[in-house]
Amino acid sequence: MNKNIIFCVLLFLTIVPIISANGEPSTAHVLFTINNVWMLVSAFLVFIMHLGFAALESGLTQAKNTVNILFKNVSIVALGILTYALCGFNLMYPGEFNGYFGFAGFGLSMPIGSAGLIEYADGAYTYFTDFIFQAMFAATAATIVSGAVAERIKLSSFLIFSTIYVAFIYPVVGSWTWGGGWLDYKNFHDFAGSTLVHSVGGWAALVGAYMLGPRLGKYGKNGLIKPILGHNMPLASIGVFLLWFGWYGFNGGSVLSADPGAISLVFVTTTLSAAAGVIGAMATSWVISKKPDLSMILNGSLAGLVGITAGADVINPMFSVIVGLISGIIVVLSVIQLDKLKIDDPVGAISVHLVCGIWGTLAVGIFSENFNLGIQALGVLSYGAFCFICASIIFQAIKIFMGLRVSEEEEILGLDIGEHDMESYAGFQIFTVE
C-alpha cells in the first residue's frame, strides 16, 4: 500500500473522533485522542521490552538452556496479562478501599459509552487503554524473576510461582501507591516503578535464587568463583538496546498523558541516567577487574534506567546523571558481593532491579525538594518486607509439594533437552559435563 494512502487513513481515523456535532473540532476530544494514542504507543513499547528480556537472558546464559529461557519469557507475558485481567487490575485499582487491600471484582467490565471513554480518567485515556498499559507492567515484574533463577528451576514450579505473584502480590502492593493506598496518602513517590515494579520483582528474584542455590560448578572450594559465561553476547547486547528503547514507553507512558513538557523531561532524565549508568559500570568494573567487561556495562545501562524510573518526572536532568552514575557503580559492586555470598544470579537481575530499584526510590527523596527521604525509605522497607515474606512462602510451598530444582542430570544435560526435549541450536548443541 502506498505510504501516502496509509498516512491519509491514519489522519482520517485521528480526526473523525474529534469533530463535534456542529462540525468543529472539540478541544477536549483532541486532547483525549492524542493522550489515548500516546498511552497505546507506550503500551506496545513496554511490550517490546519482553523481547529485550528474552534476548538478554538468553545471551547471558548457556546455549543448552536457551529454549527454556525463551519458553519462560513468552509464557510469563501470557500468564501475566490473563491473571491481571482476571483479578490483578481490580486488586491494584479497587477504587474506594482501606488503603491496604481492596478488590473491585473479577474480570474486566464493559463500560458503556462515555463511562469508559471521555469520562474515564478525566478524559485522558480510555478504560481499556488503562488496562492494557498496566497489564504490560504486571508481566514485567515476573519477567525479572526469570533471569535470577535461570538454568536450574523446574519450568512448572516457575510458572506456578509467577502466576501467583503477578495475580495477587504485585497488584496488592501496587495499590498502596498507584491505587490511592496508604503510601500514596503519605506522599510516597514512585513515578514509573523503581520499587513498585523492579524491586517487587527483585525481592522475589533474591528469594528464588537463594532457595534454589547456585548452579553446578559455580562456586568451588576455598571461595573460588568459576564464571559461567553467556553463550551469545551479541544477542545480550541487542536485548539491552531493546529494553532501553522500550523504557521510553515505560517511563514516558507513566506521565499518563501526552503532555509535551512532562514527556520530554522524562525522556531526557531517562536517557542521561542510562548513559551515566554505562560509564559508572565501565569505570568500576575496569578498575576492579583490570579489564573492560561487556556484561557489566550492559547491566550498567539497565541499572541507570531502573535507578531513574522512580523520579524521572521530578529529578533535575543533571541530577539524573548522578543517579545513573551511582546506579552503574553499585550494580557492579552488588554483583561482586552476591557472588561472595554464593547467591548465583546468572543475569544480574537482583543487582539491577532490586539494588538499583531501592537506590532510585531513595534518590527521589535526596534530589527532589518535594518528597521526603524518610517516607521514601518507609516505602522501600514496606515493599521489601511484604514481598520478601510472600515470595518466601510461595517458593517454600512449591518446594515442599512439587520441588523447585531440576535434577543434577537435567542441569548437566541442559534444560532444553531435560524439560523440553528440544535443542536451541539444532546440530550445534554443546553439553557441559564438568
Give the tens place of pLDDT for each residue, 80-107: 999 999 999 999 999 889 999 999 999 9
Give the tens place of pLDDT for each residue, 381-432: 999 999 999 999 999 999 999 999 999 999 999 999 999 999 888 776 555 4
Q: What is the CATH number of the domain that holds 116?
A: 1.10.3430.10
Q: Please check whether residue 7 lies inside any domain of the structure.
A: no
Domain count, the chain: 1
Q: Please check whether residue 249 lies inside any domain of the structure.
A: yes
Q: Please check whether residue 426 lies inside any domain of the structure.
A: no
Q: How far is 418 from 387, CA to CA, in rounded Å? A: 31
The predicted structure's pLDDT at residue 112 = 73
Place of cell 532457595: 211
Query: Would you say residue 228 has pLDDT above 80?
Result: yes
Residue 91 burial (CB count, 10 A): 25
Residue 182 burial (CB count, 10 A): 14
DSSP string for 242-255: HHHHHHHHHHHGGG
**Domain enclosing residue 209, as ranges:** 40-420
Check: CB of residue 135 under 8 Å from CB of residue 125: no
Q: Please check whether residue 21 lies inside any domain of the structure.
A: no
Give the tens place of pLDDT for each residue, 297-324: 999 999 999 999 999 999 999 999 999 9
Q: Please check whether residue 93 lies inside any domain of the structure.
A: yes
Give the tens place of pLDDT for each residue, 155-195: 999 999 999 999 999 999 999 999 999 999 999 999 999 99
Check: CB of residue 424 under 8 Å from CB of residue 67: yes
Q: Please check whether residue 329 lies inside any domain of the structure.
A: yes
Helices in 154-232 by DSSP H: which ranges? Answer: 155-164, 170-175, 182-185, 200-212
The predicted structure's pLDDT at residue 323 = 98
Q: How far is 76 from 211, CA to CA, in rounded Å? A: 21
The pTM for the full model equals 0.91
Question: What's the grid cell of residue 397?
Answer: 510451598
Check: CB of residue 375 under 8 Å from CB of residue 186: yes
273-287 in b/e form (b: 16+ CB < 10 A) is bbbbbbbbbbbbbee
Please give the backbone phi and psi of residue 126, each rounded to the nearest 5 degrees, phi first: -85, 165
Q: Please check whether residue 268 lies inside any domain of the structure.
A: yes
**Average pLDDT of span 286-290:** 94
Q: Please check whether residue 2 lies inside any domain of the structure.
A: no
Q: How far is 408 from 216, CA to CA, in rounded Å? A: 8
